Chains A and B, each alone.
Chain A
Amino acid sequence: MSELSLTGVTKAFGGVQVIQGVDLSIEKGEFVVFVGPSGCGKSTLLRMIAGLETTSSGTIHIAGEDVTKAEPYDRHIAMVFQSYALYPHMTVAENMGFALRLQGVAAPERRALVTEAARILQIEPLLDRKPAHLSGGQRQRVAIGRAITRHPKVFLFDEPLSNLDAELRVQTRLEIARLHQALGATMIYVTHDQTEAMTLAHRIVVLRAGRIEQVGRPTDLYDDPDNLFVAGFIGSPKMNFLPVQASGPREITVAGQTLTLALSVPLPTGPLTLGLRPEHLSGEGPQVTLVAEVVEQLGQTSYAHGKIDGTPVIAEVRGHRPQVGEAIPLTLNPSRALVFGADGQRLR
């Protein structure tokens, strides 16, 4: 039985439908990340799971129990907010033990549970401090600690790293991954940062305009996206898209070069889009030349920006550091090329 299941879940604010019939099943112990651009409904969906937003239609089950209309405290969930949401008038220990206090857990047992959570997160020396006397990273740990002490069935994270600086974000991301391994808990994590999604998730749910575009393992979404949106959203720098026409049942022509693709169906007539990731412009295949207009040097690798057939293209260059104006030979590797139809859906 899945730990969490959403069936036909919708949400409307006034006349605006922000979540449009979401079906999703999450297994026990899974780490699932909701990603999507701003306004795609990922936070709303998380808040609906938490019970902080009502569900317009559909059902939400947690551990087999229908919680669609249940109050947040009856859902056995814990949530970590982007703004930490620590109670400023309580100490760290009181913050972490607040849920237990409400459950009527005796003070000594409460203290033991809080200390145990603090030990896991290495914040034991901070237990008697108030949130105002903590750094951003420490506050985030306390917020996570507050969730741990409750031993919830599902952990919900709403963009928890957004307020941290870049270095601390990477560090905390690793800590969350370790924490998930240590606890083996079911976690749902919302982010707009696809690097966080790729590094943390067992499965990624890509959302757009209140709909699920694709659900899958990070590598599946990266290698085998279902549509243009997912292909463009997952991966950094994003995938190059070149407008093309079919020149045969399985052939397309780009920049005067013909690519033969291994497709199970013949290509339709009409406009198509060829997708090639910046790091996949090498290997075996027809060659084209990119004149570097801008070069981003990242040390071990470089990104050259230029145009192919008038379309902007980014190419990853390894082995040497290209200069602006340099003609860089690229390979249109058919085994890496993805083709999308006029409706944006992938042609396989």
Chain B
Amino acid sequence: MSKRLLSIPMALIALSCLYPLFFALNNALKTNKEDILNRFGLATSPTFENFTQAWTRSHLSDYFLNSVTATVGAVLLLMLLASMAGFALAILRFPLRHLVFIAILASLMIPVQVVLVPFYKTVIAFGLLNTRIGLILSYTAFFLPFSIYLMTSFYAGLPRELTEAARIDGARFWQVWWFVMLPLGKPALITLGILNALYCWNDVLISLLVLQDKRTLMVGIAALRGEYTTNIPLLSAGIVLAALPIVAIYLIFQRQIVNGIATGAVKG
């Protein structure tokens, strides 16, 4: 009985999450006229015209490529660096190790907005403005502290004897990382990859700042809203197109996401 009672608020929460998706998809299938006349009703004569228009005339295809490049580049770089740093902080013993880890954790507490001006100046100073590599490095810089924290927690939970066995087997430190720690870190790395992919893909602020004469998908969609204030179906089609890869990633890797969120929370 209590389970049934509990299922009512759960269902309401699920509905509140699903409705925006349904709203976007439903409106994307309407014409602009139909949307004005009946915004909250079902699409009576569904059309894919809005998707075509958003993809081609609104240049979302170009923006999509920018987003994919920046996201894939940043995610791969973040996985590599976080795994190396996590291994070093969790396994190796060196002076000021704890201080370094605390400094990394402390940087998690600084909001992006606070450092935008010095960040922007740095991007210009390094000649990275309006470059995809600049955006990849920017994402890496901003999302690296959390990534290092996650990987350090994961590696700290692995038995220390594994590293020691590898060292006795003849592995240098980089070989311990490459042959033992990197493969063992796969569950955490998959989670990290997915979470960082979500952050990078959904970002507007950093990409708006770094890629000023190109656009990522999210910035492109935000611009759609500016240009076509009244064209809700076109905006909805853009949102659906942008959400599709993320929904697909989530559906494919949902088990790893849930497992990975628990990573670091519980050792062992």
Whether A99 and B170, one on each chain, are in contact in the complex, defined by CB atoms closer than 8 angstroms, is yes
Q: How far is the CA of A146 from the CA of B169 in the complex (A)?
A: 9
| Cβ-based interface call for B48 (8 A) | no
Known A102-B171, A103-B170; judge A89-B161 contact (CB<8 A).
no
Instruction: List B contacts of A82 (CB < 8 A).
Output: 161
| A71 partner residues in chain B, CB cutoff 8 A | 167
How far apart are A253's CB and chain B's nearest CB, in angstroms? 54
Contact: B179 with A73, CB < 8 Å? no
> Does A52 sit within 8 A of B, measured CB to CB?
yes
B162 at the interface (CB under 8 A from A): yes
Residues B162 and A87 in contact, CB atoms below 8 Å apart: yes
A41 to B73, CA, bound (A): 49
C-alpha spacing A215/B132, complex, angstroms: 69
A243 within 8 Å of B (CB atoms): no
* Cα of A82 to Cα of B162 in the assembled complex, Å: 12
Bound Cα distance A52, B166 (Å): 11
- From A51, A52, A73, A83, give the contact of B169 (CB < 8 A): A73
Say which residue of B161, B171, B175 sits within 8 Å of A85 (CB atoms).
B161
Q: Quick one: CB contact mask for B161-185 with A, threshold 8 Å, 1 for yes?
A: 1101111111110010001100110
Interchain CA distance A102-B180 in the complex, whole Å: 12
In the complex, whether A344 has a CB less than 8 A from a CB of chain B is no
Question: Known interface pairs A87-B180, A89-B184. Does A102 touch B170 (Cβ–Cβ under 8 Å)?
Answer: yes
- Within the assembled complex, what's the spacing in Å between the Cα atoms of A158 and B167? 16
CB distance from A41 to the nearest CB of B (A): 18
Q: Which residues of the partner chain A approach B170 to less than 8 Å between Cβ atoms?
A: 73, 99, 102-103
Residues of chain A lying within 8 A (CB to CB) of residue B179:
98, 102
A236 to B231, CA, bound (A): 89
Is B111 among interface residues, defined by CB-CB distance under 8 A?
Answer: no
Instruction: Looking at the assembled complex, report how far the CB atom of B115 sits from the nearest CB atom of chain A, in whole angstroms.
Output: 39
Task: Enumerate chain B residues within 8 angstroms of A146, measured Cβ to Cβ.
Answer: 165, 169
Q: Which residues of B contact A79 (CB under 8 A)?
A: 164-165, 168
Are B159 and A85 in contact, CB atoms less than 8 angstroms apart?
yes
C-alpha spacing A103/B168, complex, angstroms: 12
Q: Shortest CB–CB separation between residue A337 and chain B, in angstroms? A: 45
Pick the contact of A77: B162, B168, B172, B184 (CB < 8 A).
B168
Alpha-carbon distance between A346 and B164 when the two chains are bound, in angstroms: 41
The answer on a CB contact under 8 Å between A102 and B165 is no
A52 to B161, CA, bound (A): 10
- Give the residue of A51, A73, A89 whose beta carbon is less than 8 angstroms from that of B183: A89
A81 at interface (Cβ–Cβ under 8 A)?
yes
Contact of B161 among A77, A78, A81 (CB under 8 A): A81
Instruction: Give Cα distance in the complex from A305 to B13, angstroms.
Output: 69
B116 to chain A, nearest CB (A): 42
* Interface residues, chain B, with chain A CB atoms under 8 Å away: 159, 161-162, 164-172, 175, 179-180, 183-184, 186
Q: Can you list 22 A-B contacts (CB < 8 A)?
A: A50-B168, A52-B167, A71-B167, A72-B164, A72-B167, A73-B167, A77-B168, A79-B165, A79-B168, A81-B161, A81-B164, A82-B161, A83-B159, A85-B161, A85-B162, A85-B164, A86-B165, A87-B162, A99-B170, A102-B179, A103-B170, A146-B169
Given contacts A82-B161, A102-B175, A150-B169, 14 further A-B contacts (CB under 8 A): A52-B164, A72-B164, A73-B168, A73-B169, A73-B171, A77-B168, A79-B168, A85-B165, A86-B165, A87-B165, A89-B186, A99-B170, A103-B170, A146-B165
Q: Which A positions have Cβ atoms within 8 angstroms of B?
A: 50-52, 71-73, 77-79, 81-83, 85-89, 98-99, 102-103, 146, 150
Q: What 8 pairs between A and B have smallest CB-CB spacing?
A: A85-B161, A85-B165, A99-B169, A73-B170, A102-B170, A89-B183, A72-B167, A81-B161
